[in-house]
Each structure stands twice: as C-alpha cells, then as structure tokens.
Chain A
Amino acid sequence: MGFRFIPVISVVLTLLVSGTVNAAGAIKIGALFAVTGPAAFLGEPERNTAQMVVDEINRAGGVRGHKLELIVYDTAGDATKAVQLATKLVKNDHVAAIIGPSTTGESMAVIPVVEKDQVPLISCAAGIKITDPVKKWVFKTAQNDSLAVARIYEQLQRQRLTRVALLTVSDGFGSSGREQLKAQAARHGITIVSDDTYGPKDTDMTAQLTKIRGSHVQAVICWGTNPGPAVIAKNARQLGLKIPIYMSHGVSSKKFIDLAGEAAEGIRLPSGKVLVADLLPNSDPQKRSLMAFVRDYQKHYRAEGDHFGGHAWDAVMLLKGAIERGADTPAAIRDQLERTRQFHGIGGTFTYSAHDHAGLGKDAFVLVEVKNRDWVIVK
C-alpha cells in the first residue's frame, strides 16, 4: 500500500527541489500577480508581459551588466496569500523590488509589509488609495480612475450635457469609479440624476435601464469590467435607449466589442493609448513604446497586448530605468524611482516626485468610440 505512493512522492520532491538557482550578480525582482482566480484577466497578461520584458532585457545583456531575475508568485487574487507571498519575496528571496499585486485590495494588504521591510513596490492596480496619501515605498503604474472620470466629464461639458445616470458594478473597480464620479460631478457642472449598481455576475440589467429611461437623463455612465457592460449595451439597445452611453476604461479591449456586437456601436469610453496605438500620430511621445509592446506581445503570445500587460511593462521598465541610473539596493532603487522624469511608457508619461507616486497626467487617456466594430479616437 505505502509503496504505491513512492513514485508520486518522488515526482513531487523532484519538482520541489528543482526551484530557482541564482545566477551570480543578478538583481532579483519579485512579482505578485493574480494569475489564477477571479482576477486572472489582470494577472495573466501581467505575468506574460513581465516575463517577456525581463527576458528581452537579459538577452540584450542586462542592465549595467547585471542580469535581472524575475520571481513570480500567483496570489490567486487573495489578500491573505498576497501578504504571505510578499513576506516570502522579502525574507526568503531577498528581492530588490516587487512588482504587483494586480488588484487594489491585495495592494492595500501588502503595503504594510513593504513599508516595514523597506522594499519598493510598484503596484499594477488602479485604486487611488494605493498612492494617496503617498507612502514612502509604494508606487503604481495603472492610471487613477479620477483621470478617466475627468476625461468623460470634460467631453460631456463640451457637449453641454449635464444630467447623467450612473450604473456601476459592485466590486472594487466599480465602487472606486462611483466614488470619483460623485466627487467630480459638481466641479464639472454635472448633476447625477440616478445612481444604481449591479452585481458582477448579473446577466440582465433591464430593470436599472428602464428606471434610467424614465428619468430624463442626457447620458448614461457605466463603470465595470467585462462582461457586465456588454450586457448593459445590449439591454439598452433592446429598450431603444437613444441617449449616449459612456463606459469606463475597464472595458477598453476588443473583447468588449466581441461581447456586445452590434450594440457596441457609438459607445464612447476613455482608454489608455495602447488600444489605438497604430492610430496615434507619430508626434505622440508614447508611440514608440506602444508599438514595441504591441509588436513583442503579438510575437511572443500571439495575442493582443492590453492595458493590464502594459502596467507590468511600465513597472519593469521603470525599475530598469532606476537600476540604469546606478541603483541596486532596495533603498537606492526607491530613491531613483522617485526621480523618474518624463518616462514615456504604455499607461502614459510618468513623472514621479516626493508628492506623487502615481506619476500620470490627464493625457494618459484618450476618448475612443466604437465605429464599424473597431475603435476610433474622438477628436
């Protein structure tokens, strides 16, 4: 009986022992991504991109002669696991910096760990709380929701639309967007007439939309990630809702158009520039980085590079920049990160300072519209 297990056990042991072997002089970078679980749509492209960029850097001879060694752990989107793995990266792997986690909740959970053990963290999550107030060791690459909200409100102002209805998803992304939509409304002269939410797994939003139809609004703003907003687009079309619909950057990928089909036509949303990289004028300072990222991702993974991968691309390149400027200890990398000026990445043009660890301006977003099943830039 007991002997039958021996082959199984020996396979497991072999797998355990054959872990990472360090190359001498390599600089270790830890990464925490939600590769599995509900946030896998973030974690998987992030992991792929980070690995791709690090491999490329090493193939080109590393940074100042140092190879980079990427240690990736899967948090499965669980805050408790993220904390354990952050501790592991710091205490056992002795990494010089950490990239990730993928979600705001996990990022908030690991902040106490990196602040105490003094290791720089570049989060790939969007939540504004991560870097506001500024924490000494914490940076982020994903655009703040506030910038996306400002982009939508500016457009509405230009078109003199003032009465809006909100429809937000009840998860971290939706609640953060809802908070910002409410906070910035008055500043742009906008009145929120109705404010509804829907569950992340809901499959019919007719009830909320019927209510909105009856309330004389001039535009609907919907905040969510796939597939909810596609359902809303379809329901709106079925109900014959004629007013303009704005979505968030949470659905700025081809997937949304595939899901919503015909109903996506005319929908507008703020988006990072990667979605429309080939449509950007050559004068755009980000164009070179964007085209390189899209091309490489296509080559390695035969898939469209998206914003989420872009967050990891930015994080690795920001670290590379800091190391290039002479840093190799956690403290020096942190100081050099803070001195990043005018880095043209995927998410935008980053300029960090002692008061700003998010680093992006309003130009990080462009407003796009769905036309003929593709994106066009709204002028």
Chain B
Amino acid sequence: MKRELLKFLAFSALVLLAPLLFKGGYLMNVLVFVGINTMLAIGLNLLLGYAGQISLGHAGFFGLGAYLSGILTASYGLDPWLVMPLAAIAVGCLAFLIGFPILKLRGHYLAMATLGLGIIIYIVFNETVELTGGPSGLSGIPNLSIGATTFDTDIRNYYLIWTFTLVIVLLAVNLTNSRVGRALKAIHDSEVAARVMGVNARLLKVQVFALSAVISSLAGSLYAHTMTFVSPASFGFNFSIELLTMVVIGGLGSIYGSFLGAALLTLLPELLRGAQDYDIVIYGALLMAMVMFMPGGLVRGVPELVRKVTRMKGRPDHA
C-alpha cells in the first residue's frame, strides 16, 4: 500500500510540474485533453481491464455528460457546478438500468450491444436539433469559475482538469486494491469461480459499468466547459474506438497505464504533425509495432524493453 501511495505522489508531482516544461504554448492546451482522456481511459479500464467486460459505446456516455452540462448551462442558465454532479448521477442511473440486460451478454454480443448503444446516443445528438443544435453543434457554454476566478485560460484549465483527474486516479487505485477490485479481477478470470466464491457477479458488473459511465460523464462535463462548444462528431463511434485503443496500448488492468495510453494517443498526432502527409502512416505503424512487441501495453512493455536493452549492453562486459 505504501508503494501505491509513493507512486501516486510521484505522479502528482509530475502533473504539478509539467507546465513548467511547456511554459505557455499550445501544448498546454493538448495536455488539458490528455487529462480528460486519462479520466475516460481509467473509466473504461475499470470495466475492460479489471472486470473484463468490453464497451464500444463509451463515447456516448462522454457525450451525454457534455451535452447535459452544455444544454442545461447554455440554454437554461443553470449553475455549472450544480449540473455536473446531476448529469453524472443521471448518466450513472441510465447506465445502471441499461447495464442489467446488456451485461448478461458476453464477448462479441456484448461488444455489439454497447456499440448499438453508442450509435443510438450519437443519433439522438444529431437529430434533436432544437435541443442539441444538431450536427453544427451547441455553442455559448460558459467556462467554470470559482469565486472571481474563471477557468478560461489553458493553464487554469490544466490545473482544474488535472485536479479532477488526480482524484479519479486515487479513487481508482484504491478501488482496484480493495476487496471489490479483487472481486472484479476474479470475474475477469472466471465468472463462475467468482460466483462460487460468493461474489455477486451480475450486480458487480452492472455497478462497475455505471461507475465507468459516471466517470465518462464527468469528463464530458469538464470537456464541455473547457471547449465551450460541443458537436456530435466528437462523440461518435471513432472516439469509442480511440478510447479502447488508449486502454489497450496503455495496458489493460493498470490505472497508470491508462494515463500512458491517453497521453500517447493524444500527443503522438501532435508530434507527428511535422511529417506532413505521412503522419497517419507513421502513427498507424507505431501503434501496430506497439501491439506486436508490447502486448501487455506500455506500462509493462517499456520497463521490459529497458531491461532488455541494458542486458544487451551489459553482455560484452561479462564476456
């Protein structure tokens, strides 16, 4: 447990000091989105990496949070801080209700059902033009503010978003190291065995699905208030797949892996932008190489790579 605490403190320090490295500049803006994506990846990882249940519809929950916050604050003038938890609760309840029938399914069928859910939510965003502004989006969403401080610059948003992200990291680390976390891993390995050991597998799966939706919704609300604009295209099927890629590339069943995956997939396109028209090819090739050579994700693959390289360097000395 002490080791977990040290890891968390080191991670917090890194987050706190990162802005000094990228003073100003647009990378600050990208790092804000790394924070949001980290939250989303952690949410999905709890479901996929720990409980072993796939979801291809998480962009939908993300979008629901963003749209609920956006519509209720921009069109109805409610307080953003009030709407955020309300939206999270509403999305959580929805996921809980849908979770019971959906999570009875397994494997490809569960993937199909969650895929359908995500697409239905996307269509609702697109078609309810009076409410959501339709495909051209909803603008005029206010920034968040505490007292006289309005979070309208990248650096302020960075600290706002990452405060939330760190809280979620802490909660997720605690959860996965608790009895519940062990129960989730048991379901992952064998649902029958878990039930034999007295784990209420069905309820627990639905609960973690709802929790994961709540985290996504929260990230969505924060996204809406930092962007001050939302449009359906940001919450489509492609984004669900991108989230899944973040979790897999980062490392299934690792909270800090989710951060690595989110950071890599958000930053890599920016770093490759210098390569002009070839960026997509290099991006794809890198992802493929990572899955082939680091099947356990970055969080396990990188240390192993370092070990291999040092061993190779060490060999001539012993020879």
Q: Which residues of A contact B (CB under 8 A)?
A: 1-3, 12, 15-19, 36, 73, 77-81, 83-84, 87-88, 90-92, 104-105, 108-109, 111-112, 116, 127, 129, 170-172, 175-176, 179
Are B233's CB and A17's CB within 8 A? no
CB distance from A187 to the nearest CB of B (A): 21
CB<8 Å pairs between A and B, sample of 5: A16-B272, A19-B274, A91-B26, A116-B152, A175-B135
Task: Give Cα distance in the complex from A68 to B305, angstroms.
Answer: 46
Contact of B126 among A80, A91, A111, A170 (CB under 8 A): A170
Interface string of B185-218 (1 = CB under 8 A from A): 0000000000000000000000000000000000
Does residue B176 face the partner (Cβ distance < 8 Å to A)?
A: no
The binding surface of chain A is classed by DSSP as helix
Measured in the bound complex, the distance between the Cα atoms of B152 and A175 in whole Å is 31
A residues near B33, Cβ cutoff 8 Å:
80, 84
- Interface, chain B (partner A; CB < 8 A): 24-26, 29-30, 33, 126-127, 129, 134-137, 139, 152, 154, 227-231, 233-234, 269-276, 278, 280, 282, 305, 308-309, 312
- Please give, as numbers and ranges, the residues of chain A lying within 8 Å of B231 by CB-CB distance: 79, 105, 108-109
A175 to B137: give the CA distance in the assembly, Å.
11
Query: In the complex the two chains form, what is the Cα distance from A88 to B275 in whole Å?
Result: 16
Judging by beta carbons under 8 Å apart, are A127 and B26 in contact? Answer: no
Tell me whether B275 and A12 are in contact (CB under 8 A): yes
Which residues of chain B are within 8 angstroms of A15 by Cβ–Cβ distance?
274-276, 278, 282
Which residue of B has the minimal Cβ distance to A110?
Answer: B229
Tell which of A2, A105, A127 touches B305, judged by Cβ atoms closer than 8 Å. A2
Contact present for B275 and A16 (CB under 8 Å):
yes
Closest to A112 in B: B228
A16 near B136 with CB under 8 A, answer: no
Contact B25 A92 (CB under 8 A): yes
Residue of B at shortest CB range from A174?
B135
How close is A108's CB to chain B, nearest CB, in angstroms?
5
Interface pair A2/B312, CB less than 8 Å apart: yes
B26 CB contact (under 8 Å) in A2, A88, A112, A116: A88
Given A2-B308, A111-B139, is A170 in contact with B25 using a C-beta cutoff of 8 Å? Answer: no
Q: Given A15-B274, A16-B274, A175-B129, A109 and B134 touching (CB < 8 A)?
A: no
Residues on B with beta carbons closer than 8 Å to the beta carbon of A1: 305, 308-309, 312
Q: If the complex has contacts A2-B305, A87-B29, are A18 and B274 also in contact, measured as CB distance less than 8 A?
A: yes
- Report chain A residues within 8 Å CB of B129: 175, 179
CB distance from B131 to the nearest CB of A (A): 13
Question: Is the Cβ of B139 less than 8 Å from the Cβ of A73?
Answer: no
Nearest Cβ on chain A to B24's Cβ, whole angstroms: 6
Tell me whether chain B's interface is mostly helix, strand or loop, or mixed.
helix
- Is A105 touching B137 in the complex (CB atoms < 8 A)? yes
Known A-B contacts A2-B308, A84-B26; A175 and B136 likewise in contact (beta carbons under 8 Å): yes
Contact B229 A108 (CB under 8 A): yes
Set B136, B154, B273, B274: member contacting A108, Cβ < 8 A: B136
Smallest beta-carbon distance B269→chain A, Å: 8
Whether B229 pairs with A112 at a CB distance below 8 angstroms is yes
Chain A residue at smallest Cβ distance from B271: A16
> When A and B form their complex, which 3 residue pairs have the shortest distance between CB atoms, in order from nearest?
A172-B135, A88-B26, A105-B231
Contact status A109-B271, CB under 8 Å: no
Q: Are A79 and B135 in contact, CB atoms less than 8 angstroms apart?
A: no
Please determine whether A79 and B278 come into contact, CB atoms closer than 8 angstroms. no
Distance, CA A176 to CA B126, complexed state (A):
12
Interchain CA distance A1-B309 in the complex, whole Å: 8
CB of A36 to closest CB in B, whole Å: 7
Q: How far is the CB of B117 from chain A (nearest CB, A)?
A: 19
A108 to B228, CA, bound (A): 10
Whole-angstrom distance between the Cβ of B157 and the nearest chain A Cβ = 11
Residues of A with C-beta under 8 A to B29:
83-84, 87-88, 91
Chain A residues lying within 8 Å of B274, measured Cβ to Cβ, are 15-19
Return the contact of A78 from the options B24, B234, B275, B282 (Cβ within 8 A): B234
Closest to B229 in A: A109
Residues of B within 8 A of A78 (CB): 233-234
CA distance A77 to B239 in the complex (A): 13
Nearest residue in B to A5 (C-beta to C-beta)? B289
Residues in chain B near residue A83, CB distance under 8 A: 29, 227, 229
Given A2-B308, A36-B280, A73-B273; A108-B137 close (CB under 8 Å): yes
Bound-state Cα–Cα, A215 to B162, Å: 58
B229 partner residues in chain A, CB cutoff 8 A: 79, 83, 108-109, 111-112
Contact A91-B282, Cβ < 8 Å, known A16-B275, A79-B229: no
Q: Which of the residues A18, A36, A90, A105 comes within 8 Å of B135, measured between beta carbons?
A: A105
Min Cβ gap A199→B in Å is: 9
Of residues A15, A73, A79, A105, which shows the largest number of chain B Cβ atoms within 10 Å of its Cβ? A105
Residues of A within 8 A of B24 (CB): 91
Residue among A18, A36, A111, A129 making CB contact with B136, cutoff 8 Å: A129
Q: A91-B26, A105-B231, A175-B134 are in contact. List 4 more A-B contacts (CB 8 A).
A: A83-B227, A84-B33, A91-B29, A109-B139
Q: Shortest Cβ distance from A192 into chain B, in angstroms?
A: 16
Give the distance in Å from the alpha carbon of A88 to the alpha carbon of B154 in the complex: 12
Q: How far, in angstroms, from A250 to B231 measured CA to CA in the complex?
A: 21
Cα distance, A220 to B280, chains bound together (Å): 42
Contacts of A111 in B (CB 8 A): 139, 229
Which residue of A has the minimal Cβ distance to B309?
A2
Q: Which B residues are CB-close (under 8 A) to A84?
A: 26, 29-30, 33, 270
A328–B146 alpha-carbon span in the complex (Å): 38
